[in-house]
Amino acid sequence: MQNNKEWQAAYSVIKQLEHAGFEAVIVGGAVRDALLDRPAHDVDVATNALPEEVKSVFQRTVDIGIQHGTVLVIVPAGPVEVTTYRTDGEYTDHRRPEKVQFVRSLQDDLQRRDFTMNAIAMRHDGSFVDFYGGRQDIELRVIRAVGDAQKRFAEDALRMLRAIRFSAQLDFTITEDTLTAIQNRAADIAFIASERIKAELDKLWLGTTVFKGLQKLEESGLAVYLPGDFQAEHWQNFRTEDKQLGWAYFALLQGANWREVLRSYRLSNKEMAFVKSVLTAFEALKSGWTNSHYFTYTEQELEAALYFAKLRQLDACLPNQPIHTLQDKLPIRQKQEVVVNGADLLKWSGKKGGPWVKEALENMLEAILHNELENDQQQIRNWLDHNYFHEA
Ligand code: ATP
Ligand code: MG
């Protein structure tokens, strides 16, 4: 695990900072994930060097969050986020500190972190700095706030949702104190921007036990203050590696006003389109899919709808072959493959354009998809002659 590129890059940054006389460690998610034997995506470095000092040590740096003390350092093994030890100033809005204060002590930096498992630092010799019992809590598989939970959630309400998200992601329990504090502060979640809430839910859907996460969301009282319906019981066997599927399933459980609910989480247009397709395909499955559905929806959308039908134990007409096999058998895969277009129709019929053209094209496509009509100019012309051109 610690031999991968991200870790190598971080080690090399630490060595150079130490060589220049500073202290530097790996902190946060990467240390936690290494102790859990999980792959880490970003390996973050913390240091007592001030941002300007960090910049003076390395040739290539990018200011990505200099006001929070973060500089991106680029070494041959890759980019590394380096953040100066800091404490957070006053929190006045339950979201962000007014201003951060750079400090020279690692302990002060670790103290501002949310949970004990996220407040462990690792030196490049492999030794740990663990003031808050983070390693023991990882052993116990518990999520525990650093310091006074109630105070920590009052400072930054997002931490409450992070606790729930981590519980689903790692299958950890939230300690009693920490859970009680969430129950007491739950209403504060309303102060948090939808984008940040969405980012946590994105990760929750990918968790190993989404069901438990949703149970905690209900138990903690947070669910009440979030838009939409989070009834845990529907999520018992849910598991996915695609966050969009989480949103689509969540949408399915919202009933008629799913659009409004999802919009409040600011899903992208692409995500909304995916959800809409899956929900429409799911509805259609109740009476069974035809070639039109295999043509209209992507394999991913149909697989999602099929998965939901199983989760919901829907009394549906399920396909008798794999979706991709049925899609491979379609006479055409794209509209552009049809050898006749609207201009042909107007030319052959000698009629004026109008709504009939669209209708004729649609019916023609249906006939082709259902193997009632061959995708061949002459055959299509005969078919149109019969069905459209010679009408009274
Ligand atoms: P992930 O694997 O999802 O990235 P992570 O623990 O690395 O999890 P990040 O959001 O990347 O989470 O944050 C990195 C570290 O910064 C955390 O491990 C934690 O120490 C600290 N941190 C992040 N968000 C907060 C917060 N809201 N309050 C306090 N500390 C935080
Ligand atoms: Mg991270």
What tens digit of pLDDT does each residue of 224-283 get? 999 999 999 999 999 999 999 999 999 999 999 999 999 999 999 999 999 999 999 999
Please tell me the residue having the least CA distance from ligand 1 atom 24. 114
pLDDT over 60 at 330, yes or no? yes
Q: Is residue 283 part of a domain?
A: yes
- Within-domain flag for 234: no
Q: Are residues 118 and 153 in the same domain?
A: no
Residues with CB under 6 Å of ligand 1 are 28-29, 113-114, 118-119, 156, 158-159, 203
Distance 29 CA to ligand 2 centre (A): 5
Residues 93 and 166 in one domain: no
**Residue 353 sits in the same domain as residue 266:** no
pLDDT (mean) for 313-340: 93
Q: Is residue 232 part of a domain?
A: no
Q: Structurally, how many domains does the chain consist of?
A: 4
Nearest CA to ligand 1 atom 7: 29
User: With 50 as the cut, is the pLDDT of residue 392 above it?
Assistant: no
150 shares a domain with 95: no
Using pLDDT thresholds of 50, 70 and 90, give the confidence band for residue 284.
very high
Residue 367 is assigned to a structural domain of this protein: yes
Q: Are residues 96 and 43 in the same domain?
A: yes
What is the 28 CA–ligand 2 centroid distance (Å)?
A: 7
Q: Which of 112, 114, 143, 166 to mutate to test the pocket of ligand 1 (most atoms within 8 A of CB)?
A: 114
What distance in angstroms lies between residue 14's CA and the mean position of ligand 1's atoms?
20
Q: Which of 227, 253, 274 is the last residue of a domain?
A: 227
Domain end marker among 312, 330, 348 = 330
What is the 40 CA–ligand 2 centroid distance (Å)?
8
User: Ligand 2 centre and the CA of 245: distance in Å?
Assistant: 22
State CA 201 to chain mean position distance: 7
d(CA 205, CA 243) in angstroms, rounded, equals 6
Residue 89 has pLDDT above 80, yes or no: no
Ligand lying nearest the CA atom of residue 203: 1
67-95 residues labelled b (16+ CB within 10 A) or e (exposed): ebbbbbbebebbbbbbbbbbebeebeebe
The greatest distance separating any two alpha carbons of the chain, rounded to the nearest whole angstrom, comes to 93
What CATH code is carried by the domain that includes residue 60?
Answer: 3.30.460.10
State which residues have CB under 5 angstroms from ligand 2, the bound ion.
Answer: 29, 42
- Is the separation of the CB atoms in 101 and 95 below 8 Å? no
Ligand 1 atom with the shortest distance to the CA of 203 = 3
Q: Atom 12 in ligand 1: which residue has the minimum CA distance?
A: 29
Q: From CA 119, how far away is CA 116, in angstroms rounded?
A: 5
Q: Whose CA is nearest to atom 16 of ligand 1?
A: 28
Task: Report the 10 Å Cβ neighbour count for 32.
Answer: 23
Mean pLDDT score, 369-387: 94
More confident residue, 90 or 193: 193
Q: Which of the 8 DSSP states describes residue 282?
A: H
Domain boundary among 296, 313, 330: 330
Can you give the pLDDT at residue 390?
A: 74
Same domain (yes/no): 343, 378: yes
- 169 with 267, same domain: the answer is no
Ligand found nearest the CA of 196: 1
Evaluate whether residue 366 is within a structural domain. yes
State the CATH number of the domain containing residue 353. Answer: 1.10.246.80
CA 191 – ligand 1 centroid, Å: 19
pLDDT category at 140 given cuts 50, 70, 90 is very high
Q: Which atom of ligand 1 lies at the shortest distance from residue 44's CA?
A: 14
**Do 286 and 185 lie in a common domain?**
no
Residue 389's pLDDT is 82
* Gap between the Cα atoms of 266 and 257, Å rounded: 15
Sign of the CA dihedral 238, 263, 166, 124? positive
Q: Give Cβ neighbours of residue 355 (< 8 Å, ≥ 6 apart).
A: none
- Report which protein residue has its CA nearest ligand 1's atom 8: 29
Same domain, 3 and 109: yes
How many Cα atoms are found within 13 Å in the side-chain-facing hemisphere of 96? 7
235 domain-assigned: no
pLDDT tens by residue, 168-203? 999 999 999 999 999 999 999 999 999 999 999 999
Residue type, 116: T
Structure tokens at 54: 């960090």
The verdict on 173 and 188 lying in the same domain is yes
Q: Are residues 19 and 117 in the same domain?
A: yes
Which residue CA neighbors atom 9 of ligand 1 most closely?
A: 29
Ligand 1 atom 21, closest CA: 113
Closest C-alpha to ligand 1, atom 17: 28
**What spacing in Å lies between the alpha carbon of 144 and ligand 1's midpoint?**
14
- Domain that residue 153 falls in: 141-227
Q: Based on the domain organization, do 247 and 286 belong to the same domain?
A: yes
pLDDT at 67: 87
Predicted local distance difference test score (pLDDT) of residue 314? 87
Structure confidence at residue 391 (pLDDT): 59
Query: Residue 220: which CATH number?
Result: 1.10.110.30
Q: How far apart are the C-alpha atoms of 193 and 190, rounded to whole Å?
A: 8
Which residue owns the Cα nearest ligand 1 atom 28? 114
Q: Which ligand is nearest to the CA of 170?
A: 1
Q: Quote the ligand 1 centre to 304 CA distance (angstroms).
A: 31
H-type alpha helices, the chain = 5-19, 29-35, 51-57, 106-111, 134-140, 149-155, 158-170, 176-185, 194-205, 210-219, 243-252, 258-263, 269-285, 291-296, 299-311, 323-328, 342-349, 355-369, 377-384
CATH number (domain holding residue 254): 1.20.58
Residue 383 lies in a domain: yes
Between 40 and 251, where is the model more confident?
Answer: 251
Does residue 233 lie in a domain region? Answer: no
Query: Considering the chain, what is the average pLDDT of its residues?
Result: 95
Residues forming beta bridges with residue 61, ordered by sequence position: 73
